[in-house]
Structure 1
Amino acid sequence: MAALPKISVIVPVFNAGNKLVPSIESLLKQTLNDLEIIIVNDASTDNSGVVIDQLAQANNNIVPVHFTENKGVHEARLAGLKKSIAPWIGFLDADDFARPNMFAVLHATAIDKDVDIVICGSDRVTEQRNVMAPKLQFKSSEEVDKDVFRRFCQFEFGTGMLWNKLFKRSVIEPWFDMHFPWRQNINEDLLLNIGCFYRAKSVYLCKEILHEYVLNESSVTSVTTNAKAYLNTYRAAALAVSLFSELGDEVLSKVIDMYRTQLSWIDYQIVDVRSILSYEEEFKEAVDLINRVRPAALALLAARQRPPVIGTRLALKLLIQKGLSVAGFRATQR
């Protein structure tokens, strides 16, 4: 019987075409040879399917998965996860690059430090792989074994991307069936990360920059307006409330606080409320979901953030514990 690969790397693909080849080659040229590369074709309408099959025919460690209908990046990743067999899981987007020692360093660190998740830095690069600036970088390497979930929810480990991390299978496998009631193409990676970091007992931050994020000005995140970004993030918050409310008030208060923070960032600020009125049905769907699960979360997501000295976090926990309805909640300012 063949030995198990050390890492399964999942690559979701939609209309990547020939750009996919150099990305996959960055995995094939890894100094760690024991990789399983699972490429999930999300019903591409270009030649991506042909390219994937050609790569799989030439490399026996590539596992192709083809969708007959387009389901979105999250469902593609879930399909890859269910196909995976390795004890460690990594991700790569179809237009990004893993530097040659990326997975060797992540895996060696995970084993040596005995942690559940390892995170590395990433450079923002051009399509020609010229470095523009760091996208994420840690000042120094650090093992974190206390307050892991709290620090994650405060964005101390980055903004929730999947592609710069290595996950122990035991922290991600419980979420293999994390299906959403609607298609969520933005912030979907943060939702999966919430589940993983909730289960993680320890993580390691690598100061090394091992990943290259290709800046694509035509990507979904690059062309999204503030109104659309706000909508998608609010809908992600609704999913988070639905998915994680059963984990208890302490966890839910941290998750809600995280989304309140994210929605306060400049890319999500709404200057003219008329810009979101055309999304009324999508907002209603999200509001209805929250209202069914935890009505108080509606008020908490909309509440203004205050300086920590006022005790915002304590107020959040008390509101959730009392299960206040939206109608019964009134913010009091002193």
Structure 2
Amino acid sequence: MTETPRTGDRLVSVIVPVYNAGSFLERTISSIQKQTHRELEIILVDDGSTDGSGELCDSLAEKDSRIIVVHQRNSGIAAAQNAGLERAHGEFITFCDNDDLMAPRLVQRLLSALIENAADMSCCRWRNPGASTAEAEMHAHADDPPGPTLIIDDPAQAYQRVFSLAHRRLAAAELRYFSEANWGKLYRASLWRSVRFPEGRYAQDVAVSLDLYLQMRRVASLADALYYWIQRPQSVSHRTKQTQYFRDIVRAHGRVFELSLQAGIVPARAYGGLMTLRLERRSVRTAEDERLFEDDARYVKSLLRRLTLRQRILCSAFFSLRRVETAVYRLTIHRRQ
């Protein structure tokens, strides 16, 4: 697939929240600079880094006029993403974590698929290599031919219904699956006009997911694995969790749960998120933790009462299957180096 005049002059804003990215930041930004689609606005939001990452952003901006650097005091990833959205001028928007990699044709393929199919969003698959092998793996797949593209006309329904790996495999529904993250996706900028991430909270991407999907009429889902998601033991998602962390997850999924029911969608995925309550219970250490947990327990109970018996059985079955898959995942993917 080659770039055509229809896509070559369309500006794409790439938002990268940056916080103490260390030695990984430069190769991340390099992977964005090497995109075959050249009409980019690369917005690096330095969220109060203390390891020299902010200075590196400034240095790279001096060499590439497409790079815009925003410095702010440390306020969290949601605030950094929002700052990027405020500065974005592109007709289309994508995100990249500050230690991941984008295959050279990621933007080109997503943009072509989005425009050719009159979609509101396009998305690709991803690979999950260890940090030490990511670049080699990306180079090894550099010449992979384009795969099929699936057009999804009910993205909010797909997001809530298709998330179990076993279900995806048995029903041949992999391309109807959306990750919780905002990376690996290209959005029409108009989707973000009234949507911003809740600041100071975890699971900020989950919290806005249905706000976005309910606006979409069509999504182009590519089989191509073009994003390299690199997990590390020191990342936030792998650290010891406090009660507030789990509370944020429960509340984010609670919002999605309510929006799903309002739209007539069975909130199967959100139900699984609400079950994070059991982890919140285990995290209780103080009287304040206990208060937060009891408040969330009441909240979850009130939401579950709104399910019909059929909906509850369906949600519970998907959740049980997902728990098994998550256990396997933690024993494999999280151990990669």
Cα distance in 1 between the residues matched to 2:19 and 2:86: 19
Structure 1's unaligned 5+ residue stretches are 133-138, 291-296, 314-334
Matched, 1:234 2:250: yes
Matched, 1:167 2:175: no
Residue 184 (structure 1) aligned to one of 182, 193, 201? 201
Deviations 1:196-220 (A, max 9, x none): 1110000011000000011211111
User: What residue number does 2:236 align with?
Assistant: 220
User: What residue number does 2:262 align with?
Assistant: 250
Q: Note if contact 1:226-1:269 (Cα within 8 Å) is conserved in structure 2.
A: no
Aligned amino acid, residue 86 of structure 1: G
How many positions carry a matched residue from both structures?
284
Shift of 1:173: 2.1
1:177-326 equivalence runs, <5 A: 178-180=197-199, 183-185=200-202, 187-225=203-241, 230-238=246-254, 240=256, 250-251=262-263, 254=265, 257-264=268-275, 268=276, 270=278, 273-276=281-284, 278=286, 279-283=289-293, 298-301=301-304, 308=311
Cα distance in 2 between the residues matched to 1:195 and 1:49: 32
Residue 91 (structure 1) aligned to one of 95, 117, 126? 95
1:57-68 equivalence runs, <5 A: 57-67=62-72
Deviations 1:71-105 (A, max 9, x none): 11011001101100010000000000000100000
Aligned amino acid, residue 232 of structure 1: D
Cα distance in 1 between the residues matched to 2:280 and 2:63: 53
Q: Give the stretch that moved more between structures: 163-172 or 96-105.
A: 163-172
Aligned amino acid, residue 71 of structure 1: S
| Structure showing greater relative contact order (alpha-carbon pairs closer than 8 Å, 6 or more residues apart) | 2
TM-score by length of 1: 0.74
User: What residue number does 2:334 align with?
Assistant: none
Q: State the identity %.
A: 26
Let me know the Cα RMSD of the aligned residues: 3.4
Q: Note if contact 2:93-2:189 (Cα within 8 Å) is conserved in structure 1.
A: yes
Distance 1:236 1:283, change over 3 A: farther
TM-score by length of 2: 0.73
User: What residue number does 2:48 align with?
Assistant: 43
Cα distance in 2 between the residues matched to 1:189 and 1:206: 21
Shift of 1:54: 0.3
Distance 1:40 1:4, change over 3 A: farther
Distance 1:140 1:257, change over 3 A: same
Shift of 1:42: 0.6
Cα distance in 2 between the residues matched to 1:124 and 1:309: 33
Shift of 1:255: 8.0
Q: Note if contact 2:157-2:265 (Cα within 8 Å) is conserved in structure 1.
A: yes
